[in-house]
A and B are shown apart, each in its own frame.
Chain A
Amino acid sequence: MARILSIRGVERRFDTTLALQSTDLEVAENDFITILGPSGCGKSTLLRIVAGLDTQTAGEVTLDAKRIQGPGADRGMVFQSYTLFPWLSVLDNVCFGLVERGLPRAQQLEIAHGFIAKVGLKGFEQHYPKQLSGGMQQRTAIARALANDPRMLLMDEPFGALDHQTRELMQELLLGIWEEQRKTVLFVTHDIDEAIFMASRVVVMSARPGRIKLDREVALPHPRHYSVKTTPEFAELKAELTEAVRVEVRAAQQAAAAA
């Protein structure tokens, strides 16, 4: 499959600390890649570099063979914090990027209504973000990013602040959308179940300075039902990843204790 994103030898240094070292990752069209790792391993930093919100101190990131120079509409992002614009309704939040592109209003509305329906928020178009629950806000944020029709979707622990049940429903919703559209996704999380359930590939990062230490294909068939989480294949992969992450979490703790 065609490769769309290429991360080569990327390093990020903050003053004296090395957050990310010689990281390589190739992302193919339609991949759903989840990135796992202990806190502070630089997984969010990597995602922010791809988004163009942060700049690497060495190495290169290319999207469709073009160097990433800064943020752009071709890489939609969903953040862990709630980043809907509080002064705009759900509808206008979803239209935000379309307005920027100068689409006629009728076309904006058609696209926005489609995505609002897809994330199950029909009837909430005129609500302000503060009138919505956390889960609904993140669904709006997903609709807002998708409405812009980006080349790929970057997600930085988007469900991290949600309660467990909402989180599982959100995973199913996002996976359903992906199964339908096959939009390329790079998804950072520290939840191993979440990482396996949604991914076509899981990547594990080491403790700081982060680099990629494990890269596993997830061969579970699509469409995936949540019951896949109880299958032996799932359990086997989970055991391997749990071990891999655990080692890194310990390493991170020891490094913190030594410092």
Chain B
Amino acid sequence: MKPLAPIAPGLRVVLGTAFFVVFVAAWAAATFGGFVSPTFLADPLTMLRSGWVLLTQMNFGYDIGMTVWRVLGGFVMAAAIALPLGIAMGAYKPVEAFFEPFISFSRYLPASAFIPLLILWAGIGEVQKLLLIFIGSFFNLVLMIAVIVGNTRRDLVEAAYTLGVKDASLIRRVLIPGAAPEIAEALRMVLGWAWTYVIVAELIGASSGIGHMITDSQALLATDQIIFGIIVIGLIGLASDLAFKWANARLYPWAALGR
């Protein structure tokens, strides 16, 4: 192996798949071989079987739907406010000076610590879960967008000015289109974090959702179901990540050029 030397696409897929195989094989060896008690860790086949039961007999599809809905709802709310605010902060330094210190402080507040407060304020319904995801993603998202917009190449801004652009159209025609691919990347990352918050929200005071199923299974020591739930989360996260990457590549073909 040479440092930084590229790898053939086919080999990349083989290696990437290989580790999944190794991982599952180790898991199977540990459980089928009797090295780990089923109370602590179910074997892969049992996990798949109970997953099937969950989906076909226990309406787990509804839980998945609820969780996806909560993630998207909270994330869309956060993005809807973070986009205009982040762009305004990136473009106008006084706006940034006004909001930035508070938001920098807020983003270090652990979102899960807000759960008791949120339950007090919003009950244990959907609003509480959406708010938790909102808190978990909004502050980071605003700061990331502000930094991205603020880092717009100054020579492009100057070129635009010498072509007769005024301030309002500078934002619309230079700052936003130039920052769009990186903002889309930031959205993709934050959506990944939103997934971790939704499970936390569902572990406490929920009557549906993947997190709720996991808590219920804990009471029954059903490690097979817990693992199945975790894998479903991973798969949905992976799918949304790939969908985001695909959409970004389609929307911003120029951004991938010459990389």
A residues near B (Cβ < 8 Å) are 51-53, 70-73, 75-77, 79, 81, 83, 85-88, 96-97, 99-101, 128-131, 141, 144-145, 148, 154
Contacts and interface: CB of A to CB of B under 8 A. Distances in A.
B158 interface: yes
DSSP majority for the B interface? helix
Nearest to B259: A130
A106 B255 CA distance: 28
Interface residues on B, range: 20 to 34
A76 B162 contact: yes
A54 B49 CA distance: 71
Contact of B180 (A51, A87, A144): A87
Nearest to B166: A100
Interface core residue of A73, A81, A83 (most chain B CB under 10 Å): A83
Contacts, number: 78
A52 B164 CA distance: 11
A101 B164 contact: yes
A18 to B, nearest CB: 23
B169 interface: yes
Nearest to B163: A97
Given A87-B178, A87-B180, A100-B169, A77 B162 contact: yes
A53 to B, nearest CB: 5
A81 B178 CA distance: 17
A75 B165 contact: no
Contact of B162 (A51, A81, A129): A51
A83 B159 contact: yes
B177 interface: yes
A85 B177 contact: yes
Given A71-B158, A87-B180, A130-B257, A100 B252 contact: no
B166 to A, nearest CB: 8
Given A51-B162, A76-B162, 8 more contacts: A83-B153, A86-B257, A87-B178, A100-B166, A100-B169, A128-B253, A131-B258, A148-B164
